Amino acid sequence: MKDLVRMRTSLKEETERILNEQIKMEAHSSAIYLSMAAWCDRNGFDYSAGYFYKQAEEERSHMLKIFKYVSDLGGTAVSPEVTNVPQEFEGFRDVFELALQQEIAVTNSINRIVATARQLNDFATDQFMQWFVQEQIEEEYVARRAVELFDVIGEEGVGRYMIDKAIPKITYGEAAE
């Protein structure tokens, strides 16, 4: 008797399910960043808006990366439905704190996928997800540095203006050392 399931895909059902959940999460992140960009734009934080537009693009590219992986391996990649995207935020600082929380949630989710892949002996998915593990180090670093700027510069006087200008200059890697 042929192994029809394995002939169709090398992904286990559980792996396919959690990868599709991650696709949805990345799409949701992208949408949140987009609404943050719009909020920053309409409140005069031009540089931060640019930063969030870039983040929105990046999250979408992460989503596509996983989407294509699921498809390439013969799985069913589900185009996600994105709902519950907040459009209003309490203030400038809150936007960045929420962005950091979002990144932490993504990191936790990535870690859970790696743990599941290892549990299922799915070495391909484990290796594929390592790129995301590395990427999240950078994402969290940048998000955390952005929040820290509020304490380092202070919001009084021209503080917010200075913070806004400093946001796009945050980089991870050698330049940040």
Positions touching another protein (CB under 8 A) are: 1-8, 13, 76
Q: Which two tokens stand for residue 91?
A: 């203030």
Closest separation between CB of residue 7 and another protein, Å? Answer: 7
Closest separation between CB of residue 31 and another protein, Å? Answer: 24
CA 116/CA 137 separation, integer angstroms: 20
Question: By C-beta, is 7 or 175 nearer to another protein?
Answer: 7
Question: By C-beta, is 8 or 68 nearer to another protein?
Answer: 8
C-alpha 90 chain-centroid distance: 21
Question: By C-beta, is 4 or 175 nearer to another protein?
Answer: 4
**Cα torsion at 128, 102, 142, 132 (round to 10°)?**
0
Question: By C-beta, is 1 or 175 nearer to another protein?
Answer: 1
Q: Which two tokens stand for residue 89?
A: 């935020």
Closest separation between CB of residue 8 and another protein, Å? Answer: 5
Closest separation between CB of residue 66 and another protein, Å? Answer: 19
Q: Which two tokens stand for residue 96?
A: 């960045």
CA 106/CA 125 separation, integer angstroms: 17
